[in-house]
Amino acid sequence: MGLGILMHPIAHAVPRPTARWSWALWLLFMGFTSLSTAQADIAVVVNANSPILSMTKTQIADLYLGRTRTFPNGDVALIFDHQDRNPLRERFFLALTGLPQQRIDAYWARLTFSGRVLPPRSLTDENAMLEALRKSSAAIGYIRSPHAHDNVRVILVLKE
């Protein structure tokens, strides 16, 4: 008996890996890998005239989670966020806290319902964020790192 008799009939219809298939799979894998690593860092920024020169990740998390409303120097912070479904917001909170956006939203829903604190003011896009930061020396927000401008100061860069 030859091996051809023992093979299932469908086995002949399945393409066998060839150099061309291996190359195509490699390109597909590398494309997805480069897409995930091509995203820019996230810059936490304040107004260029702000006295705040830098902050730690924990200090920024405390601001964005409503644990404090003041900068380390005691000045009241005007905290700006991006809208709920903005991919940058999801990336920001994941890099800052390690929590997915759904957990952050649930956290803020509990705080808001309890009446203890209101969430940061959400803005439509990065242009609105930059405009709000330009207008107030008490403002803090976040943008994609390559979009840092002269009217803001980067106080922390979040790596993904």
List pLDDT tens digits, range 31-47: 443 344 456 899 999 99
53 domain-assigned: yes
Element (H, E) at 156: strand 152-158
46 domain-assigned: yes
144 domain-assigned: yes
31 domain-assigned: no
* Domain CATH for 91: 3.40.190.10
User: Model confidence at 151, in pLDDT bands (50, 70, 90)?
Assistant: confident
The residue assigned the tokens 């840092």 is 148
Instruction: Tell me: pLDDT of 121 over 80.
Output: yes
Cα gap 125→31, rounded to integer Å:
28
User: What's residue 116's pLDDT?
Assistant: 80
Query: 151 or 122, which is more confident?
Result: 122
Instruction: Tell me: pLDDT of 23 over 50.
Output: no
17 domain-assigned: no
Helical segments of the chain, H only: 3-6, 19-37, 57-64, 87-97, 101-114, 126-135
User: What's residue 130's pLDDT?
Assistant: 94
User: What's residue 150's pLDDT?
Assistant: 81
Q: Report pLDDT digits (tens) over 58-101.
A: 999 999 999 999 999 999 999 999 998 899 999 999 999 999 99
Whose CA is closest to 129, among 96, 81, 87?
81
Domain interval for residue 84 = 42-158
Looking at residue 39, the DSSP 8-state letter turns out to be S
- Specify the number of domains making up the chain: 1
Cα gap 48→2, rounded to integer Å:
79
8 domain-assigned: no
